[in-house]
């Protein structure tokens, strides 16, 4: 059960691709947010555009107290598109659900990898993360030193993944095996 006044990281769905607008609004209120982005090139009519776009469609991470978010969702039209993400409390039933929160350490690891250059990481959907759980590891050296994740086979290669269960994940595209140790 969540304490309504304690701050948590909430992965939140933002309807109709309005995550940039909602992020900008929450930023004006000094509420911490994280929007993973990637560099993309696209065509608009006859013009070629380049820019950063959300890496995971309709997803915004928000660090706040639940009571604050509930109040904003009910009183400010700018926050109306926010939707809590939930998961079943038990595997046996889908009727009882809990709001998903992300532990600070896991979110710190996710942000750190997400902010790496595009060629050093890959974003993964919840569907991409299906399969057998791997060993928990720690990266010991290099630009990702200190990152904790799990080993998963992604596109035929073993990669270190920081997974947010039921939401998304981000993997490091390459870490030399000598820089990885199993965590007990």
DSSP the chain: ---TTSEEEEEEEEGGG-HHHHHHHHHHTT-EEE--EEEEEEEETTEEEEEEEESSTTEEEEEEEHHHHHHHHHH-GGGTTEEE-EEEEETTEEEEEEE--B-HHHHHHHHHHHTS-GGGEEEEETGGG-S----EEEE-SSTTTT-EEEEEEETTEEEEEEEETTTEEEEES---GGGEEE--
Percent of the chain surpassing pLDDT 90: 78
pTM, two decimals, is: 0.89
Q: What are the pLDDT digits (tens) for 18-72?
A: 999 999 999 999 999 999 999 999 999 999 999 999 999 999 999 999 999 999 9
**Residue 94: what pLDDT?**
61
């Amino acid at each position: 059960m969540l304490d309504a006044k304690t701050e948590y990281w909430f992965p939140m769905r933002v309807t109709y691709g309005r995550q940039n607008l909602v992020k900008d609004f929450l930023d004006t209120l000094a509420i911490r947010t994280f929007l993973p982005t990637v560099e993309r090139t696209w065509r608009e009519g006859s013009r070629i555009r380049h820019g950063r776009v959300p890496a995971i469609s309709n997803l915004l991470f928000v660090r706040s107290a639940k009571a604050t978010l509930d109040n904003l969702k009910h009183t400010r039209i700018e926050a109306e598109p926010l939707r809590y993400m939930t998961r079943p409390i038990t595997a046996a039933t889908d009727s009882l659900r809990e709001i998903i929160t992300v532990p600070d350490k896991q979110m710190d690891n996710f942000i750190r990898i997400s902010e790496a250059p595009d060629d050093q990481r890959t974003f993964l959907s919840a569907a991409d993360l299906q399969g057998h759980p791997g060993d928990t590891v720690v990266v010991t050296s290099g630009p990702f030193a200190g990152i904790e994740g799990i080993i998963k086979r992604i596109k035929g290669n073993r990669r270190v993944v920081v997974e947010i269960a039921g939401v998304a994940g981000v993997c490091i595209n390459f870490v030399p095996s000598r820089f990885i140790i199993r965590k007990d």
